[in-house]
Amino acid sequence: MSKRCRNDEIKNWPSSKRLRVGEPARHGGDRLSTLSDEIILHIFSFLPIPSLIVCQRLSRRFHDLAGDSELWKRLYYSRWVLPRTHRLPLSKRSTVCSNAFSYSPRVSKWLGHGHLAQEGQATNWKKKYRLRHNWSRGICRVSEIEVAEPPQPSMLVTLYAGIVLTVDGENGLRGWSAKNPKLCLARVSFSSGAVPTALSSSSGRCPGIIPIVVGFEDGQYKIYDLDVSTSHFTLRCSHTASADGAITAVASSPPYLLILTNHKVLSLYELPAPGMNANSDSSTSLPRFLASFEANNIFSPLCLSIRVSTAEIVASIAYSFCRIGGGWSLGIQELHLSQDGEHLGSRLATTVDCQYGKHHDQMQLGSVRTKNMAKRTNTTDDRCATMLAAPLIQHHEPPTSLSYSHPYLLTSHGDNTLTMYAVVSTSDQLVIKGARRLWGHTSSVVNVQVSDRGKAVSMSSCGGELRIWELETMLSCPPSSTRALKSEHSIQVSPETQRRKSDERRSLADALVRCRRSKPEGDGGKKARMRGLIGFDEEQVVVLHEKGAGIQLLEYYDFT
C-alpha cells in the first residue's frame, strides 16, 4: 500500500486553467505580448494556417496581426502561385524569368495571376485565399430565387462581373445582383412579339459599363449598356431584322461582334463607342458591317469566340460534326481579318487525329518494329493496321454541350464523361491535341463551361450534381503520369454538408421513392426540368432549372 506523501514533498504544479494573454504567467510572464508587432508578424509567418486562425481568437491585437494582408499574400503565393510555376514543362522554364520562381510583392509579376493586380486598390488577401480554398474544396452557400412562372417561355441567362442577366419575351432584359439575388437592379422591356434567342455580355472599353448583346428570332439584335453605378440600361444601337433567320449564337469582344444565324451565316460587325444615342440619325451610331461567311456542315452544340489583337481579329467557331462510320468529332474554324474586315485567311482543325491517338500510335508502332526487327511478318502489319483503325476516344452520339475558351476546348456527353482538348493556334498552324476523357459524374452531363484560365464547371442531369475541374494542371503533364492521374479527380460542389450527411443516413427505400418522384419522363422532360449550367465567375456559379409545373428558378452557388 502506497503511503501518503509528506507536506514538504508536495510540488507546486502549474494551474490547469488557461491564462489570459494580458495576465502575467506564473513562470516568467507572457513573453509573446511584450514583443513588437514586427517580430510577432515574423513569428506568425512560420505558423500553419490553422494556428493563424486560432491566434486571431486570442485578442484584438492578435486578430489584427494574424489577419495582416501581406501575411496572407505570401500564403496565397505559396499555395496557389508557386505550385503553378513548378508545373511548367522544362522546355518552357527557360523562357520564364527567374524571378517567377521567387516571391515578389508585385502581383503583376506572378505567373498567370496578373488579373489580380489592382492599381490603387487594397486587396483583401485573406478573402482571396478563402475564396480559392472554397473552390478547391467545393464549399459554398446556395440560394434560390424564382424568376418566372408558367406559362412564360424559357429565358436566357448569363453571369458577368457579379451581375446576373436574364432575358425573355415577357419580362424583357433584367439585371440581378449576385450578392443579393432577390434584388433586381435594372429592367428594360421589349416590343410586343419580340422573342430573344441569344444573349451575351463581355468587358467593355469603359470602366463601370457592361455591354450586353441580345439577339432575336427575326434576325435583329440590340446592344445595351448597363451602368453599374446607376443600375440603368441604355440602348446603344440596334440592327434591323434580316432574312438570314434567327440569331442562334453571339460572341463579342469590344468593339467587335460575331453573330451566327439559323441559316448558318457568320457575320462580323464593328460596334459604335459607348455613349452613342441609338435614336440619332448619324451613321456613327449604327453597327458597321465588316464581313460575312457561310458556315455549312456544322451541327449543334457549337460555340463562338472572338480574339482581338493590335494586328488582326481572330473569329472562331467550334462545332460538332458526324463522320460516316467514325462517330462524332469536333472542328474549329478560325477566320483571320484585319481591323477593317479584310479577309486575311482561314484555318481549320479537327479532333480526328487526337481521337485516334496519332502520336500515341506512332510510338507504339515504333516499339513494335524495334522489338521485331528481324520478324517482319504479315501478322505484325495486320496488328498495326487494326491498332490504327480503332480510335482511342469515340463518341456515337453528339455532345450534350460544348464550351471553347482559348486554348481550352471541352465537351460533355451522355455517358457521364467529359472530353478535354487543347487548341494550339500560332501564326503558322492550328492544331487540336491532348484529347483526354474526364470521369467523375454519376449521370449524364447536360452542360459544361470553361474559362480562359482553365477552370471548368460541369453539371449532371440527375440531382443537379456540380463538379469543378482544373484543366491547366491536367495539360501540364502527360496523360499517363502519376500526377495526371491524381489531378483528374474533380471536386464535387457540396453545399449544406450537414443536410447531405443526414440524407445519407436515410433508408434505401426512401431514397428510391425520391428518385422515382424526381425522375423525368423521357428525354424531353429531362431537358425541360434541368436546363443546366449557365455560367460562373471568380466567386459564384449560376444555374437555371425548372421545378414543378414549369416554374423557372435561379440557383446561386456562392463560394465567398
More confident residue, 208 or 47: 47
- Residue 270 has a CB neighbour count (10 Å cut-off) of 16
Does position 134 have pLDDT exceeding 50, yes or no? Answer: yes
Tell me the three cell numbers of residue 410: 471541352
29: confidence class by pLDDT, cuts 50, 70, 90: low
Angle between helices 358-371 and 378-389 (to 10 degrees): 170
The reported pLDDT for the residue numbered 326 is 75
Average pLDDT, the chain: 78
Contacts of 307 (CB under 8 A, 6+ apart): 253, 313, 314, 316, 406
Q: What is the DSSP string of 225-241?
A: EEETTTTEEEEEEEE--
Does position 469 have pLDDT exceeding 60, yes or no? Answer: yes
122: confidence class by pLDDT, cuts 50, 70, 90: confident
CATH number of 150-372+383-494: 2.130.10.10
What pLDDT, in 10s, does the model give residues 317-339?
999 998 877 788 999 999 999 88
Determine which of 397-401, 487-491, 498-502 has the lowest per-residue pLDDT on average.
Answer: 498-502
The reported pLDDT for the residue numbered 394 is 81
Does position 488 have pLDDT exceeding 60, yes or no? Answer: no
Tell me the three cell numbers of residue 494: 457540396
10: confidence class by pLDDT, cuts 50, 70, 90: low
Does position 361 have pLDDT exceeding 50, yes or no? Answer: no
Provide mean pLDDT across the span 7-14.
Answer: 57
What pLDDT, in 10s, does the model give residues 502-514?
454 444 445 444 4
The reported pLDDT for the residue numbered 177 is 87
**pTM listed for this prediction:** 0.79
What pLDDT, in 10s, does the model give residues 375-391?
444 444 444 444 444 56
Contacts of 270 (CB under 8 A, 6+ apart): 255, 256, 257, 287, 288, 290, 341
Contacts of 263 (CB under 8 A, 6+ apart): 244, 245
The reported pLDDT for the residue numbered 261 is 92
Where in the chain are the domains?
A: 39-105, 150-372+383-494
The reported pLDDT for the residue numbered 467 is 92
Beta bridge mates, 318 = 303, 332
Percent of the chain with pLDDT over 70: 71
Q: Which of 26, 21, 33, 30 is nearest to 58 (CA)?
A: 21
The reported pLDDT for the residue numbered 404 is 94
What pLDDT, in 10s, does the model give residues 234-281?
999 988 888 888 999 999 988 899 999 998 899 999 988 887 665 555
